[in-house]
Structure 1
């Protein structure tokens, strides 16, 4: 089968348009059309339904697109490994993690990584959906549970718990709950239990909501919840890793917290020797060490003198 025709077919199927594919390939629309027509003739099938708004793959076209998509991912992997055979760390690294962790913990620390590797290009994908690492939807993942996909190298980084926090200003104005039942008298800021999140966090929210809380603010990610808390709107259910970067927040009801949530870093086995992945992994591990050291020093500073 003609590899050049397959490359052009993949571009057309991905773009859904001869014109857009031609622009990406630097070919005229007529040249792209001829290649697609030739591929259809060689396969003795129709690959696209043509209509005024663009192109739609036929069933046979979908089968071929699945194959070319897999080929493209394998080529991306090969390209990454070839580039990583150089001594320098450069090029694109696609990192996926949750919106909360990526926004509140990871992104603010990336300055150090870019200072060390200024030619690195990080594509940070923040979403609750678990991307398929073996299929190269991302290169590296930081996840709030141990990955179940096969052929992954994984390392446990740390653990977190969901806890209750508020600002001193809010507590001075509204008072402070003494028992979990008192939460009904305060505005609770949290994720809706039905939104995608770690199970431990959802269970804690469900428990708090069971006390007939009169006023709530639900947000679909922890960044939004944090903004509400720091602006004195209420008591928020937030991950404990925020303590380091937001030391002015006050822990409320210290005995109330979620179960432990493990945080894992994972990447495909085939990227074991990737210098970009190694650079990112080492950076995250060093930041975790610094994070733990800072929390330990902070705890020791708050301990009463013996």
Structure 2
């Protein structure tokens, strides 16, 4: 297929904008192209859009056919945008941002207390704290359905990955409203069974031969521990993963030491704080919402409830 240049692409973008006028252009195809371009592969885009890879591939192929241009070419196992694809991406991305802003504005004006509210939290928070919060919200606003997005990555509120986020870092985007609602501390913990087997740990030197459970990457864990004043090496990290909940449960089963916030550890008498004289690690809680969504009645209700819960002396925990 011959690439017809920027005039062709601009005309195609105009067709997208006029889709409601009866033209055959499919915005779902444009979204499939946009996510594929941003993720770099059909498989990653299919996962992000919760569809099968063949379906996504057909949507991108349909867009290429509708526009009479080639958007991607394969370089080995990688997808590369063609010059026409790069031009198209710029316009479709701008359209996506515009559609998102329109959606945010419409959602922000909604005054119904019926509907979904998506809250993005860490996996630890999702497992141990959110069940009690959801139960309270069910009593307060039974028509609101809470969607819990459990992810240790920072959700993009501007792209509506979530309506509200509980984060341990302050957001930097100007369109987000953030409120610091809690300041907790992190410490080093081990199960009683592990300490019985390993022996007493009274000084940082005592952990030189101890086993550690890593959360995040091995390099991040090692750097964090060494900056904390613990003389360990990569050999001490006997298990590592990106799930804080899995790391905590492995430590509870006697597999090693793990850092954790006191908010969670206080509910587990089988876990003991190790080296309590180590400097406490600050664990702030930032509650974040998009500025437009802050005027939505149902989202404001959930936001205000989270403010109240996170402001309590103790967070709700397992079994509450």
Give the TM-score of the pair, scaled to structure 2.
Answer: 0.69
Shift of 1:160: 2.8
Q: 1:288 to 1:129 in 2, by over 3 A?
A: closer
| Cα shift readout 1:123-150 (whole Å, capped 9, x = no counterpart) | 3323333333234332212111111111
Is the counterpart of residue 140 in structure 1 residue 164 in structure 2? yes
Q: 1:62 to 1:9 in 2, by over 3 A?
A: farther
Give distance in 2, aligned partners of 1:114 and 1:176: 46
Shift of 1:73: 1.1
The root-mean-square deviation of aligned C-alpha atoms, in Å, is: 4.0
Give distance in 1, aligned partners of 2:291 and 2:200: 50
Out of 239-248 and 147-156, give the one that drifted further: 239-248
Structure 2 partner of 1:85 = 111
Where structure 2 has 5 or more consecutive residues not aligned to the other structure, the ranges are 1-13, 37-45, 47-57, 75-80
| Cα shift readout 1:63-85 (whole Å, capped 9, x = no counterpart) | 33213312331332244234x32
Give distance in 2, aligned partners of 1:98 and 1:58: 36
Give the TM-score of the pair, scaled to structure 1.
Answer: 0.72
Q: 1:168 to 1:70 in 2, by over 3 A?
A: same
Shift of 1:46: 4.3
Shift of 1:163: 0.8
Give distance in 1, aligned partners of 2:194 and 2:163: 42
| Cα shift readout 1:234-282 (whole Å, capped 9, x = no counterpart) | 2222222213432432111111244313211111111221122222222
Structure 2 partner of 1:282 = 304
Match among 65, 71, 86 for residue 59 of structure 1: 86
Q: 1:49 to 1:207 in 2, by over 3 A?
A: closer
Structure 2 partner of 1:13 = 30
Where structure 1 has 5 or more consecutive residues not aligned to the other structure, the ranges are 21-28, 296-306
Q: 1:71 to 1:294 in 2, by over 3 A?
A: closer
Give distance in 2, aligned partners of 1:178 and 1:202: 22
Structure 2 partner of 1:248 = 270
Structure 2 partner of 1:301 = none
Structure 2 partner of 1:118 = 142
Structure 2 partner of 1:182 = 206
